[in-house]
Amino acid sequence: MMVVQQRSLLLLVLVTVVVTTAYDIDCKWKSNISDIEDVAHHKYQVLEECLFYKLTSEADRMQDKSNALMMLPPTVAAGEILEVQVLDGSITEMWMNEVFKEMNINGFLKLSWKDRRLRWNPEEWKTENLRLKSMGRLWSPDINSDK
């Protein structure tokens, strides 16, 4: 019985070592890329995920909070003001309730702001763009009025 437990523990350790060494957390393979146009689509997606992971880790360390890119606005210095520009907007639905004095407006806004936590060296990462799969991974302004 003891021999079986030792073998299964040894197997678990070997699998863990193989999986850990196979996952390149720093994406060191990116240094082998000479032209980003030659990278297969799935590898480019992995490169973007590596870059986003790096930016997330740096933001977490800088702001001393996990999920900082998603949870905290990009203002880092005390008293710093974040400017958000409204580039475009459209209303899809609007309704009023006169009894409760409520007005609801649903629509889309195209917003722009600068977030210095999303800076990287394009020469190192071979790309100047980062496409996110979900905007829920980044902080966005909460726009409402309770007046």
Supply the DSSP string of 109-123, one letter for each residue: EEEE---GGG---HH
Average pLDDT over residues 61-68: 93
Give the separation between CA 30 and CA 26, rounded to whole angstroms. Answer: 9
What is the structure's pLDDT at 25? 64
Q: Is residue 68 part of a domain?
A: yes
Q: How many domains does the chain have?
A: 1
Q: Is residue 80 part of a domain?
A: yes
DSSP string, 10-74: HHHHHHHHHHHHHS-TT-GGGGG-S-GGGS-HHHHHHHHHHHHHHHHHHHHHHHTSTTHHHHS-S
Residue 86 has pLDDT above 90, yes or no: yes
Q: Is residue 15 part of a domain?
A: no
Q: Which domain holds residue 115?
A: 25-134
pTM of the model: 0.68
- 74 against 23, higher pLDDT: 74
